[in-house]
Amino acid sequence: MPVLKQSVSALGSLILTLFGLSVLTFFIGRVMPTDPVLAAVGDNAPQAVVERVRTEMGLDQPLYVQFGHYLNQLLHGDLGRSILTSNPVLSDIARFFPATMELATAAIIIAALIGIPLGVWAAVRQHSWIDQTIRVICLAGHSLPVFVLALLSLLLFYAVLGIAPGPGRQDIIWQDMVPQVTGFLTVDSLLAGEYDAFWDALAHMAQPVLILAYFSMAYITRMTRTFMLNALSGEFVITARAKGLSSRRVIWRHAFPTVAVQLVTVLALTYAGLLEGAVVTENVFSWPGLGQYLTTSLMNADMNPVVGATLLVGAVYVLLNQLADLLYRLWDPRVK
Amino acid sequence: MLVEIENLRVAFRSRSETVEAVRGVSFCVGKEKFAIVGESGSGKSLTARSLMQLLPGQAEVSADVLRFDGIDLRGASESVMRTLRGKRVGFILQDPKYSLNPVMTIGQQIAEAWREHKGGSRKAAMLAAIGLLEQVKIHDAAAVAKRYPHEVSGGMGQRVMIAMMLAPDPELLIADEPTSALDATVQAEILKLIDELVSARGMGLILISHDLPLVSHFCDRVAVMYAGRIVELLNAGELHQARHPYTQGLLACLPSLRHPRARLPVLQRDAAWRGEETQ
Amino acid sequence: MTFFSRSWLLADSPGNRRQAVWGRRYRLWLTLRSNPLAVAGLVVILLMLMLALFAPLLSGFEPGAQHLENRLAAPSALHWLGTDELGRDVWTRIIYGGRTTLGMVIAVVLLTAPLGLLIGCIAGYCGGVIDKALMRITDIFLAFPRLILALAFVAALKPGVESAILAIALTAWPPYARLARAETLQFRHSDFIAASRITGASPLRIILRHIMPLCVPSLIVRVTLDMSSIIITAASLGFLGMGAQPPSPEWGTMIATARRFLFSEWWVPLMPCLAIFLTSLAFNFLGDGLRDVLDPKER
């Protein structure tokens, strides 16, 4: 059964890649720092603590033994402990990740809903002023750091126009007032029937989501345009036109379906990129998500959360890619 | 007269120069089988495509007369063209590997052509599609209808193409090198099929090919094109009476079983042919 | 006899190899020149380079000279872009910051492009286990978003310009390796490579002398386009305090330290933003133009 064989080899490949990720993060966390102990406890820790942690971390043992321990810990879900929060890193991540996912998910939905039609439009009207305008907008998205746009947005909408709410996910009055079900504040507040909380959460989300959406849109639109230009030059498009079909039908029922499946891979890549954009955006908007966790730990040289969060993001990306690959295989009749 | 063309010109303009690929072509086609024969680059495909306005964007088309059934096609709008395409004029492309939609099933593609011009439910259209597949002599039509284009052979793909273009019952069929991408054994079969269907339905046919002897068997009249112009226009039965040196050269270099020769003559091109007036 | 005249360069039948090579280069240049955006990008980049190189000549101020009595001054004839929170001239800091930023970018490219090229060509040419192993390693690096991996690397080393360069370099090489490998795979089985092998050339020689030069055009395009991404990553590192450290006038760092004045003396954080945007945009325009010239099928 070729499908089974394919799945097994894909799974093997996945495991190998995840293993490689753990090697890399081990390298970053234990091997690279000039003194991993100091990196873990900070420069100002008393000598006794340093010695204790050194033995605890097993740094007196050979590297491969250390890696074995690391891998063992990983498989048990132990990502170490954060100095700042003094919680296990895994539980910290579980607490902060949903906030980032909420941003990323909303952003990618908006980016796809706007970006894909724009890309199709640019391809259909190649060389026209519409095409040029769209390309310039996308190019600007590639030329700006996320934090610059975030700062500008803050300046414009918060300081100058005064229509945006303050920092954070919600106004203080709503803090801890909505029972946690999914970790997505918008969903949770709807489930609890707290409509004011919902609007508040939405208002706070608006800026970071729109900024992240703009950046992902730049990539999505460009790839859609490239794919569609390719599809529109195919002979089967001439056939469709020769059949007397309307332009709309030719574009959306004939050309677009041939690229739809490639767009799934693009969206998977974009989602991972969003996690990267979230790091800086959360910093600017004081959003309590994974990015904020990462940068705060960074600034305090708290290595365990840094390594843990990096590993998580890498793993998510690899899994998303595999998923996209799987969808591609299932969906595209040419690959079957 | 179904098709009337006079002084058709097709030019491609780039930044540095303008190339005229079709340079003053004129002919008329009625309810007959008309062939346009020429080598690569002679402009035969472009001529056919300009009738249906299926040329690439950069092409510039001009003509004194460009009519289908009396309708002036010069500068006609998309909506006018859409009443003609498919419904009244069918267009068969060369290579079914590329000309059929790779992510739609065969049945769906034919049914779409049916439904677009005849309406009706999806089910009725699919049944009609299966019926059409049988008309083009495909065995086990119902099973083939569920397959994708890459799953069938070239010859079968071309039959699908024919079925798809005949679905709306057009009056004219334009076939742009329908057999060039097929094996030699299949070529004659496909041409025979086109011939039968066109005759049975009382349609006109414009057949474009580079294979002179092949089309002379199936068509009533032949136009020979060279470098964007028609250099000879005659009835298929009178080919041996061809007057233009290019046509004579083409006919002369065909190998013959009945009159074997030690050496095949080679066509000697004359630059003067490029400037020849059309007949 | 070299007359680098226009007619010599554009001759239809070049007399010797030199003429052919230069003729080709000239034609590519002409095509690039007809693209207004690409030319604009090139001009801006050259301008930035000039500003950075001749920084001491272009400003009377020292980038670190503090005049606390004149802090947060608005743009004026004396201080073209105003002063920052410690009274330092913003214009001076921006052009000196250009040195840091452009220096980082050039250092990264010099480190990563040859390395990525070599790895990709070796993987593509040798195939088999070597290819699989090298691509697995590349995939692992590619699994992390660039900024996050760079942050992790910098955190492990000490925050600073050198660590930032190293960290960005470690994240920047995989795409070049992938690109070089894809290009190599196209040429690997061609006849001229087989001919080289038959005449006894060693694999290393074939890779270095035949395959690598063929991959260079698309690599140049990719590197130019990547420059904007590297600038942005460097600035992001600076913004998060992980790159160049204050008082170093790196653009990202400048934005971070001036952030709290965003709502009042907005020009202080915004001027470095503009500098980043213009430089990045220029590289993108130039990269797009180069792609149209060197690799047109990629549009």
Residue C252 reports pLDDT greater than 50: yes
- pLDDT number for residue B277: 45
- pLDDT number for residue A40: 62
- pLDDT number for residue C298: 45
Q: Is the ipTM of this complex over 0.85?
A: yes
Mean pLDDT for chain A? 85
Residue A36 reports pLDDT greater than 80: no
In B, which residues are within 8 Å of A244 by CB distance? 82-87, 116-117, 168
Task: Give the chain C residue whose CA is nearest to the CA of A31.
Answer: C156
- pLDDT number for residue A190: 79
Q: What is the pTM of this model?
A: 0.84
Query: Tens digit of pLDDT for each residue in A185-203?
Result: 888 777 778 788 888 888 8
Which segments of chain B have a pLDDT < 70? 15, 276-279
- pLDDT number for residue B29: 93
User: Tokens 């030719």, residue?
Assistant: A250
Question: Quick one: three-class SS letters along chain B?
Answer: CCEEEEEEEEEEECCCCEEEEEEEEEEEECCCEEEEEECCCCCHHHHHHHHCCCCCCCEEEECCEEEECCEECCCCCHHHHHHHECCCEEEECCCHHHHCCCCCCHHHHHHHHHHHHHCCCHHHHHHHHHHHHHHCCCCCHHHHHCCCHHHCCHHHHHHHHHHHHHCCCCCEEEEECCCCCCCHHHHHHHHHHHHHHHHHHCCEEEEEECCHHHHHHHCCEEEEEECCEEEEEEEHHHHHHCCCHHHHHHHHCCCCCCCCCCCCCCCCCCHHHHHCCCC
- pLDDT number for residue C119: 92
| pLDDT (average), residues A119-144 | 89
A166 phi and psi, to 5 degrees?
Answer: -75, -170
The reply to whether residue B112 touches residue A258, judged by beta carbons under 8 angstroms, is no
- Residue A23, sorted as left (phi over 0), alpha (psi -120 to 50) or beta, turns out to be alpha
| pLDDT (average), residues C262-284 | 89
A 32-91 residues with CB below 8 A of C? 32-34, 39
Query: Tens digit of pLDDT for each residue in C216-236?
Result: 888 888 898 889 999 999 999
Q: What is the CA radius of gyration of chain B?
A: 19
- Enumerate the β-bridge partners of residue B72: B67
Interface test with A, best of C228, C236, C264 (most A CBs within 10 A): C236
Interface test with C, best of A276, A296, A312, A321 (most C CBs within 10 A): A276
The reply to whether residue A306 touches residue C152, judged by beta carbons under 8 angstroms, is yes
The reply to whether residue B101 touches residue A334, judged by beta carbons under 8 angstroms, is no
